[in-house]
Amino acid sequence: MATTSTTQPAPATLPDGVAFLYMNPGDLIVDANIRTNADITPEFRQSIRDLGVRVPVTAVRAPEGIKVREGQRRTITATEEQVPTIPVYVVPDGGDVERIIGQLAENHDRAAMTQPDTAAAYEQLALLGLSASQIAKRTRRTKAEVTAGLTVAKSTIAVEAAEGYALDLVSAALFAEFDGDEDATRTLQWTAERGGSLAHAAQRIRDERARTQALDAERTRLTADGVTITPKPGYYEVTAGREVTALRAKGSTGPLSAEQHATCPHHAAYVHYDDATATARAVYICTDWRAAGHLRWTDPAAKAERTPVSESERAERRQVRENNAAWRSAEKVRRDWLAATIAPRKTPPKGAAEMVADAIVNQASRLSYAADRGFQVAASLLGHTSEHGGRRYIANLLSKANTPRSHVITLVVVLAAIEECTGVHSWRSASGDSGAADYLTTLETWGYQLSDIEQIACGRTPTTEPDPEPAEAAAPAA
């Protein structure tokens, strides 16, 4: 009868003069190091606290004790965090020349993980059953980064963008969001190549998508109802058409409604998109009200006749509409940034106290405006999800906050008050809204990347070139 034998691996043999020990980090001596600053980050400290030292440090024997040659940060942090033991390789002392060469190799020749590598690691953890929240907790990363990494791992174009443009995972995930949309991808690539804000570019794409979808949905409804759709007339365009509600039937004392006019052979409609509410609606018109026998509801002499305008004036109006749309997109990105970056802080950023003081002294009207509306924008930035009760929500947060956190909450109230008083008027003149310019410049010093339109609001000339028009793209009639 055959017997089964189990082969045990032979114990590793260390080279002569090398020892592998577990030692109390406090007993080690940190030798001279080419690093002038240990640069112990909170994330690194938390990793040592949670996991201990996983990679052995390298040391040499000296008359005064065992000196660490490679692993300065690990040893210092483990000592401060009172880690009982850490792994140590004790090697022969090759002198200062070998020490410096070894430390250079330790710090320069080691390749950092790429963002796609990190995304793939998150994906593997997810496949092993960990949720995004669990991965974030175990790896000491933000949930936003982990969620973005899981998104990137599933998108080839996002992985390529992360590598090709050296993007963080949150930025690379924007490529995954628009995967399959060639025009959107081209815009993001153009933005990344020029070092622009991908967050702002993505928001503009979302806004344009929402606009197109809303317009298409309203046109589909009109078509189903059998209504003829006409292009929206230009502001100064003189046509034979007139809005139905501006007309009345002969013998009638009230304006026509769309229902009453539906049987008119000249019944039609164009679709108007409201940027402020992000909605599309049909505007019903009579394409030839004189031929239909209708009368003007208002006295024609009460309004001056519109006169033709020059092409330069038309171009200026088009630019105004474009800039207004850009500002609304930037506002969404900016407020998302405030909610994600400033509002959760435990301590205020540098210069916060000066900004709050300036707002109290010089921008009392803005604070009053926000107060009249219950500080609802501030409450939203701080996590309030209801449309009401903002003031009570903030008061409750303040009652539970320590002093540094209460300063952050106060700062958010001030920032939100300034936000409420900005708008499409803010980009028109840098001197016309200096409060907005100062506000945006301060956010920039805290890490916010200004969009082109926000740079204009600060009195600057944007450094990026205009986004090229997609090939063979026809502008939809609005």
Quick: pLDDT tens for 339-368: 999 999 999 999 999 999 988 898 888 889
Q: Is 428 left (phi over 0), alpha (psi -120 to 50) or beta?
A: alpha
Mean pLDDT of the region 395-422: 92
Q: How confident is the model at residue 249 (pLDDT cuts 50, 70, 90)?
A: confident
Which domains occur in the chain, in start order?
Answer: 19-108 (3.90.1530.10), 115-180 (no CATH), 227-302 (no CATH), 323-457 (no CATH)
Alpha carbon distance 145, 136 (integer Å): 8
- Among residues of the chain, what percentage have pLDDT more than 90? 40
- Name, of 221-225, 319-323, 387-391, the range with top average pLDDT: 221-225
Residues present in the chain in total? 478
Query: With 60 as the cut, is the pLDDT of residue 379 above it?
Result: yes
Check: CB of residue 291 under 8 Å from CB of residue 229.
no
Sign of the torsion formed by the C-alpha atoms of 132, 138, 143 and 144:
negative
Cβ(381)–Cβ(343) under 8 Å?
Answer: yes
Please give the C-alpha separations between residue 94 and each of 59, 62, 283, 317, in angstroms, as whole numbers: 11, 12, 85, 74
Q: 312-326, 348-362, 444-458: which has the minimum mean pLDDT?
A: 312-326
At residue 36, does pLDDT exceed 90? no
Mind listing the pLDDT tens digit for each residue in 262-273?
999 999 999 999
* Whether pLDDT at 443 is above 70: yes
Decide which of 401 and 250 is more confident. Answer: 401
More confident residue, 25 or 303: 25
User: Mean pLDDT across the stretch 429-433?
Assistant: 53
> If 0-12 CB within 10 Å is exposed, 13-18 middle and 19+ buried, where does residue 471 land?
exposed
Q: What is the pLDDT of residue 311?
A: 79
375: alpha, beta or left, given left = phi > 0 and alpha = psi -120 to 50?
Answer: left
Q: Which pLDDT score, from 0 to 100, does residue 474 have?
A: 40
State the pLDDT at residue 115.
86
Do 435 and 364 touch, CB atoms closer than 8 A? no
Strand blocks (E) in 1-114: 19-23, 29-30, 57-62, 65-70, 86-91
Query: Residue 378 corresponds to which tokens in the numbers above?
Result: 């501030």
Which residue(s) pair with 70 in the sheet?
A: 58
Contact 115, 172 (CB under 8 A): yes
Q: Is the pLDDT of residue 5 over 50?
A: no
End-to-end CA distance of the chain: 88
**pLDDT at residue 414 above 90?**
yes
Can you give the pLDDT at residue 225?
92
Helix residue ranges per DSSP H, 338-467: 352-362, 364-372, 376-381, 390-400, 403-420, 434-445, 452-457
Task: Tell me the average pLDDT across 286-294.
Answer: 88
Residue 106: band (very low, low, confident or very high) from pLDDT cuts 50, 70, 90: low
User: Which tokens sit at 258?
Assistant: 């769309």
Of the two residues 96 and 335, the one the predictor is more confident about is 335
Q: What is the pLDDT of residue 314?
A: 81
Percent of the chain with pLDDT strictly greater than 70: 83
Nearest alpha carbon to residue 56 among 41, 39, 70: 70
pLDDT of 70 > 70? The answer is yes
Place 316 in a pLDDT band, splitting at 50, 70 and 90.
confident
Mean pLDDT check: name the lowest of 23-32, 76-85, 319-328.
23-32
Q: What are residue 273's phi and psi, to 5 degrees?
A: -110, 125
Average pLDDT of 300-322? 68
pLDDT band per the 50, 70, 90 thresholds, residue 1: very low
The pLDDT of residue 438 is above 80: yes
Q: Quick check: 311 and 269 in contact, CB under 8 A?
A: no
pLDDT at 303 over 50: no
Q: Cα(379)–Cα(392) distance, rounded to whole angstroms?
A: 9
**93 pLDDT tier (thresholds 50, 70, 90):** confident
Contact 377, 428 (CB under 8 A): no
Stronger pLDDT, 236 or 372, i.e. the higher one: 372
Average pLDDT value for the chain: 83
Query: What does the pLDDT read at residue 248?
Result: 86
- Indicate whether 143 pLDDT > 60: yes
Distance CA 129, CA 148 (A): 17
> pLDDT tens, 145-165?
999 999 999 999 999 999 899
Is residue 202's pLDDT more than 50? yes
Q: Who wins on pLDDT, 93 or 345?
A: 345
Give me the pLDDT at residue 302, please.
37
| Number of CB atoms found within 10 A of residue 132's CB | 19
Q: Provide the 8-state DSSP code for 303.
A: S
Highest mean pLDDT among 31-45, 356-370, 463-477: 356-370
Displacement of CA 396 from its chain's centroid (Å): 28
Nearest to 174 by CA among 163, 161, 164: 161
Q: Are strands 86-91 and 19-23 parallel, antiparallel or unpaired?
A: antiparallel
Report whether pLDDT(292) > 90. no
